[in-house]
Amino acid sequence: MTKSFAYDFYVNNFNIDYTFIVFFIVIFLLSVLAYELGFARKLPLLKSIIVYILLFIGTYITTTFAILQMPIIESLIIISLVLGIYRFRMYRERKSN
């Protein structure tokens, strides 16, 4: 199984007591970024709140996988980079037309 570089880095350099909380926050923020870059549409306020609540609940499960040393954070970073590049290219293409 692939080991997580983020997990190894955090355990070797920081206090292990707050690992779950720190990973939860990082994964939630990266998930929100990936959602906003790739999948978000203009929704009414109540629907947006429901989406973010479900994203928050799903982050708990994803964080559990990250604690089991699966490369979740690394995957979210790559997803965010790819979607960011895609968004930038689409913006530049629309601007030139």
Q: For 37-84, how does the pLDDT look when each residue is reduced to its tens digit (9 = 90+)?
A: 988 788 899 999 999 999 999 999 999 999 998 999 999 999 999 999
Write down the pLDDT at residue 2: 64
CA 89, 90, 96, 97 dihedral sign is positive
* Average pLDDT for the chain: 91
Nearest to 23, CA basis, from 83, 71, 89: 71
- Tell me the pTM: 0.88
| CA–CA–CA angle 13, 78, 11 (5° rounding) | 15
DSSP 68: T
